[in-house]
Structure 1
Amino acid sequence: MEKLINDFSFGLFFWQAIILLILIVLLVKFAWKPIMQSITDREEGIKDALLSAENARNEMQNLQADNQRILQEARLERDNMLKDAREMKEKMVADAKTEAQVQGQKMIEQAKAAIESEKNAAMAELKLQVSTLSLNIAEKLLKDELSNKEAQTKLVEKMLGEVKIN
């Protein structure tokens, strides 16, 4: 260290200081500004990338919220459609039951009417047969009565024995 102090030259120090200042000025002018500019550009790029990432995250959250809302609406619509379909099915079944009951009642009424009609026809036929039989008996009685009183009584008894009421 003592050697450095003994060999110290003020002129050499002066020129070295000027060269150092010129070098610093040149570095500031030509190197420092581009380096700082690239650092600033990089910082701005990073800020822009972070901002874009934040915007993308917000947009993704909005899309997820929209998807959830749309999914919920679709579920509600599906539930409403199923409810409507069930109600329509129940109404159709109820209408079919009602129609079947109406048709069954009509068939019962028609059957009752047919039975009544058959009954009336049978009664009319029976009345016709009874009246024909009565007329035949009366005719035979009149013939026998006109001929003989004793024979008429026998004939009436005989005819009554032959007649069977069904």
Structure 2
Amino acid sequence: MEKLLEEFSLGLFFWQTILFTLLLWLLWKFAWKPILKAVNDREEGIKNALEAAEEAKKEMQNVTADSEKLLKEARAEREVMLKEAREIKEKMITDAKEQAQIEGDKMIKQAQATIESEKKAAVADIKAQVADLSIDIAEKVIKEELSDKKKQLKLVDDMLGDVKLN
């Protein structure tokens, strides 16, 4: 340190101080301002990016909440539609059963009516056959009765006695 003090020159110190001051002024004028501006711009950009990220995060939460809400609404609507479909199915089954019952009753009534008409037709046919047989038997009996003259007269007298005169 003594050597430095011995070799100290005031002129050199003065010029070095002026040059150092000039260098500081030049750096401040041309380098520090752009560097500080770049640092401030970068800081502002990072700050804006963080704010945008925060906004995006909030928006994502809102979208997620909306999606959950829409999903719940869709599920509820699906449940309502399924319930309505079940009710429609049950109503269709009930209506089909009622319609089948009505058709069955109608068919039974038609069958009963057909049976009744066929029964009447059969009874009428039997009556006709009985009448034909009765006539055939009566013819045979009368032929035999009328073959004798005495029996004929007696039959005519009996018939005349049965007839009432007004």
| TM-score normalised by L of structure 2 | 0.75
1:70 corresponds in structure 2 to 70
Displacement of 1:75 in angstroms is 2.2
Q: Which residue of 1 aligns with 2:32?
A: 32
Structure 1: unaligned runs, 5 residues or longer = 150-166
Higher relative contact order (CA 8 A, sep 6+): 1
Residue type at the aligned position of 1:103: E
Q: Deviations over 1:3-40 (max 9, x none)?
A: 11222233332332222222211211111111110100
2:162 matched residue in structure 1: none
Alignment of 1:1-166 (within 5 A): 1-138=1-138, 141=141, 147=148
Q: Percent identical across equivalent pairs?
A: 60
Which 4+ stretches in 1 moved above 6 angstroms? none
Structural RMSD (CA): 2.3
- Give the C-alpha shift of residue 98 in structure 1: 1.2
CA–CA separation in structure 2 for the residues paired with 1:107 and 1:44: 91
How many residues in Structure 1 have an aligned counterpart in Structure 2? 149
- Who is 1:161 aligned against? none
Q: Distance in 2 between matches of 1:121 and 1:28?
A: 133
Deviates more, 1:16-25 or 1:122-131: 122-131
Please state how far the C-alpha of 1:80 moved relative to its aligned partner: 2.2
The Cα shift of 1:109 comes to: 0.6
